[in-house]
Structure 1
Amino acid sequence: MKSLVMAALALALSSRPSMAADPPGWSVTSPDGKVALTVGRSGEGDAARLVLSASVAGAPILGESPLGIVRDDARFAEGLTLASEGAVVAHESKYTVPHGKRREVADRYNERVLGFKDAQGHTVELHLRAYDDGVAYRYRFPEDGSKATRTVREELSGFRLPEGSTVWANPHDDPGEYTPGYETFWKYEVPAGTPAPKAAGWSFPLLYKTPAGRWGLITEAALDRSYCGGRLAGEAPGGLYKLRFPDAGEGNNTGSVEPSWTLPWATPWRVVIAGESPATIVESTLVENLNPPSRVADTSWIKPGRSSWSWLSDPPSPQDASKLKPFADLAAEMGWEYTLIDANWDIMRNGTVHDVIAYAKSKGVGVLMWYNSGGPHNYVTERPRGLMDLRKVRRAEFQRLAEWGVKGVKVDFFQSDKQNVIALYQDILEDAADFKIMVNFHGCTLPRGWSRTYPHLMSMEAVRGEESYLFDEKYPAEAPRHNAIQPFTRNAVGPMDITPVMLRDNRYKRLTTAAHEMALPIVFETGILHFAGTVGEYLELPPVPKEYLKSIPVTWDETKLLAGEPGRFAAIARRKGSTWYLGVINGEGQPRELSLDLKPLGDGTWKATILEDGESHSVPLDRKADVASSEPFRISLKPNGGLAAVLVPGPGR
């Protein structure tokens, strides 16, 4: 009997895949060969753990970083055995989008799928992708036939930055009446491993530079209703930033911290946009690429554009039809497509919302309307509320808006990254599409690339914007540097409704110059551009800057970072047709001289209309110039200053 037992044990051991038989690692390399992603093991025997590392042009961008995920019925961590070893598969396609960094997007990567089993035979797949501009991975639980609901208790994923790396990071908000909202001020150029100032940890994305001069941006993509939004733990010993789930108090204590779903089930992609310069990050569409294709078959009704906005200069104005009509007039005079009716419009006096909609329509201006997303997940009283969280009510409201001719909604105050609220975002997007209503989220989570799947998602806030001139006395001093970090961080991962171009002062006086503000519609990307200012500050502008604001596009064919250092300055060029728009901002309180190389814009000459700083706090100077790719474009920036330029092709181009 003993010999039979031993024989059976020997047979079982021989049939179990051996970790000792593993290759040194499993790798996938980007199509251009510069970016490499490798999975291997760390440790010995049953204590061995899967780890991941990555490099760019031969230099590390991620050190040995832990992998693993824990389900309520299985722990995929130590002692996993190899179940399947997929070959590297190449993918190459293109798709077009109605708004974003470029109209035509290339989606090119190499992918590999590895399967592993725990001791009980449960399976997890590890999907690996390498792009020319970064790496991504996710876990997937294949179908087990049971249709049982599973719960993820914890992700053990982490990102180990190379020793000596420098970090730009956004402290996450602790739960509160208006938080989390991704609206804290960034920590600039701190050593990797610096603890977060709040217990909530660090928000995605996290930007860093390695000692070898490589740049990385850590974030996540393709988050859907089956999962919660992630972020990074506040403690990062040795530069190891571990993924963590939301706080229990988010969303007014509604919803579960741990996500649950039925199999098959995949997590969001864990992403590092990576390159040899920050231009790779600024120009990247990797987050969108990782999302599913558009679910909206007919996109002809999706119209990006510019919008007037009354609330910031006069918060009670959405309750007064007589105050809203001049903003419709402003949009009509400036050729902007929309005007936004903000919070509390359902208690309007001096007319009704129907009067304002009809008036705007008579001027050829579309109307956007504000809604509170709550529901039990927030207790903010601004109204209308209670119309977005229940499907039947929400669809009835969208049908009503469609009948009124309203073009889009701004939905506010989500305050949670838990699974229940992530599902609400996608419910709103899916129902809005059925009624051809565009969507802008405020008081919201970070973009995870949803604009590819739902192209009527025009913008998201998730940034401390110019409304802060109304209520935050610290904002003016922070704003120049804050603006100069966004192209490399928040705006790198999706459209950003920061509501720029304030030319007069609100409650707190601006320190940015007029030309700095004028440059922001180019420096920042969004599908709908809400102008922060009053009627007078735009209509009373001299002809050239006024014409610039009339004609500024919000859709782009190409985007280039010509120069920049996060938080210090940014020079971004965006092309619409054959015309290039150049926005330059100085994030520091001292003058800056720049010599920009225009060769990335193509060979030739341009007729340039330039807006730059003079003595006025609210009006830029304008001048004409001929510029050529054969010569440097020299710029002198004032402290906290800027420059905007429109480059029209010269003769022969």
Structure 2
Amino acid sequence: MFKTLTTITILALLISCTSKTEKVIETELRSPDSKNTFSFDVDSTGMISYTVHHNDLQFIETSRLGFELKKHSLKNNFELLSSKKQSNNSQWKTVWGQRETIKDHYNELTLHLRQKETNLLLDIVARAYDDGIAFRYVFPQQESLDEFIIMDELTEFDFAGDYKAWWNFADYDNYEKEYYNSPISRIGDSTKFYRRPNKEERPNMANTPTTIEVNDNLVISIHEADLTDYAGMNLLNTLNDSKLKAQLTPWLNGDLVRAKTPFQSPWRTIQISENAGGLVESDMIMNLNPPNAYEDTSWIQTYKYIGIWWELHIGKTAWAEKTQFGKPITKPHGANTKNAKYHIDFAAKHGFPDVLIEGWDKGWDDMEGSWTGYGIFDWKTSTDDFDIKEVCQYAKEKGVRMMMYHETISDIDHYEPAMDELYKMCSDLGIKTIKVGYTGDVNYDTVKKTYKQHHHGQYMVRHYKKMVQKAAEYKLMIVNHEPIKYTGEQRTYPNLMAREGARGQEYNAWSKGNQPEHGVVLPFTRILGGPIDFTPGIFKMFLGKRDWSEVPFRVKTTLSKQLAYYLTMYSPMPMAADLPVNYEGNPAFQFIKDVPTDWSDSKVLNAKIGDYYTIVRQEKGTDNWYLGSISDENARSLDIDLSFLSKGKKYQATIYADAKDAHWLENPESFEIIKKEVTSIDKMTLELAPGGGQAIEFKTL
């Protein structure tokens, strides 16, 4: 008996001593609510990988991590040296946004790795939030690695099943594509889905965000955050069941990323929710970006604007004076002084601070058959029939401003060196916002017929950052068209107000248009990255025929759905995009005038990707709420309760609804306005027409 006890005691002491001397290396990370789990592994070959669980479901199986560098392969022979855990639970205030206060609560795991044969060091930092998982690569400063070039990022997302995905075709230059839904294994399948036949659009590749419905109780979205000095990530269908792989946008010589230690990649993000609305309510993408870079943000404002824009797309007027896209034009030039003053008068009358004016500068006449050119614009010389000083002075007298438009045609070689002079000019003229467009190939040479860069590569990512930083020096706000995707950087640079990056409203004016489903897909895909400049508010849906087409063009929504877009197509700077003549005398225009642009809180009441979506937003600084609800091509009857309203208060609900005979195809402009008194204990039924919507103002009495 004594011998047995002694043996047990000795063993216990040995175990105790061992536990004190051996270093435990943590490789698993859980979210604060313990529902989301990131697990890291190094296998016997030194290959590094991860898995992701939500509750008991492992929906991402063993997925490789690593890189191929120009001079080194970082795909195996790694050993895990150590790891470190820490947590954060804080809050921060937005300058503007979908909510005023954002909670930043996560657990973090840092893994320190060394490749045995080269002694190269690589860290992986993972964060687990209640609304998702994120990880990034960090290259520490080290003697064995200084400057380096990434030739391939090996990051995989190997799904446990062939789940349903919402995606659009990726290329390296354009996000303005239709969205499809299919099993993961059919992402980028150009035999089944229409793919534009141009030189860069790749089969089997999708843009991010790509959103995936794992089951009825789990939906996730793959994207990235803090993309500021790296190549944009696409998702390559590996044709291996349901495995997706990071595919970075290259420099033209094949380099993907040019870097120098210390260096870090963007975050690879997996937003996780048990319903589609939770993806919209997630703040993880913004939380993964650095804090606000500006001490003074008093000059940054949110507001609505009108402009000389829609008339150009529907063919009423032209961007150029004499020739447009290589052909003579007979219609009037839109951006003339008289037309600008007409829009300024309308803006002053109805309370819009800015008037966007496109086509005001020299260069449009020199553009060829496509939106390309080299050295065409100088962005400071007005057309012969437009006096920019006179227009800006007239606007100032009316309490309005011009919103400057710079169509760069992606001529970065000329535009970037001119930004300082151009932005000073805008500031001197009293302009507060510049909309900057990037059509055409980057740095296209019309003589050599060659271009130098891709829109979504590291070169342009760097340019967009320089642009918004330079604009801030002159207290200017920026809206981008044909941009790099949003990855939450509006937290760091809150003068970056909105980006397009999708098939916007203009596609209805000169193409087959956006289908009724389009509006109930974008909030769960593109807009997860950040605010969109969709240009809503079209009241006249039938647009007629154009010179080159026998098919009449039209907007494929009801009028009430266009009103609801001011809530569902989130932007802090939305446009009232239709012609002023279509607003005058229309009582629905009152909603556009009344709807706020900055919010204390936002809540999704119901949502099904591609089918329907209802969101409510609280006006910042008040107890007033606004609701937007939209449907696809089907009619919907959606029951909601009003518990989001303040308890004990009475509200007047002004309801802008589809009329009973409304239909996106047959009778899109039919609507009705209903007023009723409600409280937080009431319930409502939203009746949406096919392709329709509903917009409601809840104002305290």
Structure 1 equivalent of residue 174 of structure 2: 181
1:104 maps onto 2:101 in alignment: yes
Structure 2, gaps ≥5 residues long: 1-21, 196-201, 313-317, 320-332, 363-381, 443-453, 545-552, 662-666
SS in 2 for 1:193: helix
State the alpha-carbon separation in 2 of the partners of residues 61 and 597 from structure 1. 33
Distance 1:456 1:58, change over 3 A: same
1:634 maps onto 2:631 in alignment: no
Aligned-partner residue type, residue 562 of structure 1: L
CA contact (8 A) 1:59 1:212 kept: no
Structure 2 equivalent of residue 31 of structure 1: 32
CA contact (8 A) 2:658 2:689 kept: yes
State the alpha-carbon separation in 2 of the partners of residues 114 and 160 from structure 1. 21
CA contact (8 A) 1:411 1:440 kept: yes
CA contact (8 A) 1:61 1:216 kept: no
State the alpha-carbon separation in 2 of the partners of residues 501 and 376 from structure 1. 31
Distance 1:125 1:171, change over 3 A: same
SS in 2 for 1:528: coil
State the alpha-carbon separation in 1 of the partners of residues 395 and 426 from structure 2. 15
Report which of the two structures shows the higher radius of gyration computed on alpha carbons. Answer: 2
State the alpha-carbon separation in 2 of the partners of residues 98 and 619 from structure 1. 38
State the alpha-carbon separation in 1 of the partners of residues 23 and 76 from structure 2. 15
Q: How does 1:612-631 map to 2 (within 5 A)?
A: 612-614=657-659, 615=661, 617-618=668-669, 620-631=671-682
Aligned-partner residue type, residue 623 of structure 2: S
Structure 2 equivalent of residue 482 of structure 1: 518
Structure 1 equivalent of residue 183 of structure 2: 191
Q: How does 1:405-416 map to 2 (within 5 A)?
A: 405-413=430-438, 416=455
CA contact (8 A) 1:594 1:635 kept: yes
Distance 1:298 1:24, change over 3 A: closer
Q: How does 1:51-450 map to 2 (within 5 A)?
A: 51-86=49-84, 88-119=85-116, 120-145=118-143, 148-173=146-171, 180-188=173-181, 190-196=182-188, 197=190, 198=195, 199=202, 201-211=205-215, 213-225=217-229, 227-246=230-249, 253=252, 257-314=255-312, 315-316=318-319, 317-346=333-362, 347-373=382-408, 376=411, 388-390=415-417, 393-413=418-438, 416-450=455-489
CA contact (8 A) 1:228 1:257 kept: no
Distance 1:269 1:236, change over 3 A: farther
Aligned-partner residue type, residue 451 of structure 1: Q
CA contact (8 A) 1:221 1:268 kept: yes
State the alpha-carbon separation in 2 of the partners of residues 49 and 125 from structure 1. 14
CA contact (8 A) 1:592 1:639 kept: yes
Distance 1:76 1:499, change over 3 A: same
TM-score normalised by length of structure 1? 0.87
State the alpha-carbon separation in 2 of the partners of residues 91 and 66 from structure 1. 27
Distance 1:375 1:59, change over 3 A: closer
Structure 1 equivalent of residue 610 of structure 2: 567
Aligned-partner residue type, residue 104 of structure 2: D
SS in 2 for 1:427: helix
State the alpha-carbon separation in 2 of the partners of residues 241 and 360 from structure 1. 52
- Judge which range, 504-513 or 343-352, deviates more: 343-352
Distance 1:295 1:318, change over 3 A: farther
Q: For each residue in 1:397-452, what CA deviation from the matched residue of structure 2 results, as whole angstroms up to 9, or x when unmatched?
A: 11111111111111111661111111110110111111111111111121011111
State the alpha-carbon separation in 1 of the partners of residues 591 and 311 from structure 2. 22
Distance 1:26 1:596, change over 3 A: same
State the alpha-carbon separation in 1 of the partners of residues 410 and 206 from structure 2. 27
TM-superposed CA distance for 1:375, in Å, is 5.5
Structure 1 equivalent of residue 19 of structure 2: none
Structure 1 equivalent of residue 373 of structure 2: none
Structure 1 equivalent of residue 549 of structure 2: none
CA contact (8 A) 2:120 2:145 kept: no
TM-superposed CA distance for 1:22, in Å, is 10
State the alpha-carbon separation in 1 of the partners of residues 482 and 237 from structure 2. 22
SS in 2 for 1:402: helix
CA contact (8 A) 2:231 2:250 kept: no
State the alpha-carbon separation in 2 of the partners of residues 124 and 234 from structure 1. 27
State the alpha-carbon separation in 2 of the partners of residues 75 and 124 from structure 1. 12
Distance 1:409 1:238, change over 3 A: same
State the alpha-carbon separation in 1 of the partners of residues 684 and 300 from structure 2. 37
SS in 1 for 2:311: coil
CA contact (8 A) 2:658 2:692 kept: yes
TM-superposed CA distance for 1:561, in Å, is 0.8
Q: For each residue in 1:365-388, what CA deviation from the matched residue of structure 2 results, as whole angstroms up to 9, or x when unmatched?
A: 1221111335656xxxxxxxx653
Distance 1:410 1:612, change over 3 A: same
CA contact (8 A) 1:580 1:646 kept: yes
Structure 2 equivalent of residue 538 of structure 1: 583
TM-superposed CA distance for 1:503, in Å, is 0.7
Q: For each residue in 1:342-364, what CA deviation from the matched residue of structure 2 results, as whole angstroms up to 9, or x when unmatched?
A: 23434434341222212222211
CA contact (8 A) 1:257 1:418 kept: no
CA contact (8 A) 1:221 1:269 kept: yes
SS in 1 for 2:598: coil
Aligned-partner residue type, residue 596 of structure 1: I
TM-superposed CA distance for 1:531, in Å, is 1.9
Structure 1, gaps ≥5 residues long: 1-20, 378-385
Over the aligned positions, Cα root-mean-square deviation in angstroms equals 2.2
SS in 1 for 2:344: helix
Distance 1:601 1:183, change over 3 A: farther
SS in 2 for 1:575: strand
State the alpha-carbon separation in 2 of the partners of residues 209 and 150 from structure 1. 38
**How many percent identity over aligned positions?**
26
TM-superposed CA distance for 1:631, in Å, is 3.9
Instruction: Identify, as 1 or 2, the structure richer in helix.
Output: 1
CA contact (8 A) 2:336 2:360 kept: no
Structure 1 equivalent of residue 378 of structure 2: none
State the alpha-carbon separation in 2 of the partners of residues 501 and 131 from structure 1. 36
User: Which among 536, 543, 547 is matched to residue 590 of structure 2?
Assistant: 547
TM-superposed CA distance for 1:514, in Å, is 0.9
- Judge which range, 48-57 or 640-649, deviates more: 48-57
TM-superposed CA distance for 1:58, in Å, is 3.0
SS in 1 for 2:527: helix
CA contact (8 A) 1:371 1:388 kept: no
CA contact (8 A) 1:338 1:366 kept: yes
State the alpha-carbon separation in 1 of the partners of residues 477 and 231 from structure 2. 24
CA contact (8 A) 1:331 1:338 kept: yes
State the alpha-carbon separation in 1 of the partners of residues 26 and 52 from structure 2. 12
Structure 2 equivalent of residue 645 of structure 1: 696
State the alpha-carbon separation in 1 of the partners of residues 657 and 579 from structure 2. 21
State the alpha-carbon separation in 1 of the partners of residues 349 and 680 from structure 2. 35
State the alpha-carbon separation in 2 of the partners of residues 296 and 256 from structure 1. 36
CA contact (8 A) 1:570 1:586 kept: yes
SS in 2 for 1:130: strand
State the alpha-carbon separation in 2 of the partners of residues 257 and 635 from structure 1. 52
Aligned-partner residue type, residue 202 of structure 1: A
Aligned-partner residue type, residue 467 of structure 1: E
Aligned-partner residue type, residue 394 of structure 1: M
TM-score normalised by length of structure 2? 0.82
TM-superposed CA distance for 1:195, in Å, is 3.5
- Judge which range, 367-376 or 88-97, deviates more: 367-376
TM-superposed CA distance for 1:130, in Å, is 0.4
State the alpha-carbon separation in 2 of the partners of residues 184 and 330 from structure 1. 34
TM-superposed CA distance for 1:79, in Å, is 2.4
